[in-house]
């Protein structure tokens, strides 16, 4: 299969599941060794889960299928440029590449304001529109120290 074939599958998922009422017009597939190993579509409204974006669903499915959290050797095809949450998850999962069709500007034009999130994450914490306050840093640091000292930890 070609890049275009995999992207057509992601786009088809976006259509089918949006029209079925599962969520917004977004679809994604994760591919390993030329085979689709996971499919995801937006389920934010149907699952009442703001994190159930197509990419997140596909990543969760791929990790479960492969029984590992490191998805090196896999790529993702998504019908729209990933939002900051999904982009971060793709990096955390160590996927090798991202292929996308619609841009963040295209998504903004139909009411999905990922652009705002892209702007916010670049700001200093003190300048973000959502207040962020640091509390109990010293107490929380003890968990970090325990992790650093843990001999049997599974690094990721």
Among all residues, which ones are annotated catalytic? 55
> Vertex 77, ends 65 and 46: CA angle to 5°?
70
Report the SS3 class of residue 141.
Answer: helix
In contact, 58 and 39? CB cutoff 8 Å: yes
In contact, 29 and 77? CB cutoff 8 Å: yes
DSSP 152: T
């Amino acid at each position: 299969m070609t890049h275009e074939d995999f992207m057509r599958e992601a786009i088809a998922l976006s259509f089918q599941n949006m029209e079925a009422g599962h969520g917004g017009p977004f679809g994604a597939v994760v591919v390993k060794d030329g085979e689709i190993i996971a499919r995801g579509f937006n389920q934010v409204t149907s699952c009442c889960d703001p994190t159930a974006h197509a990419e997140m669903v596909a990543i969760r499915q791929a990790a479960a299928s492969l029984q590992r959290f490191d998805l090196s050797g896999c790529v993702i095809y998504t019908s729209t440029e990933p939002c900051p949450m999904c982009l971060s998850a793709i990096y955390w999962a160590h996927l090798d590449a991202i292929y996308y069709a619609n841009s963040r500007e295209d998504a903004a034009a139909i009411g999905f304001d990922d652009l705002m999130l892209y702007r916010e994450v670049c700001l200093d914490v003190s300048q973000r529109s959502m207040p962020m306050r640091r509390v109990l840093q010293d107490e929380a640091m003890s968990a970090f120290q325990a992790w650093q000292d843990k001999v049997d930890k599974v690094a990721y």
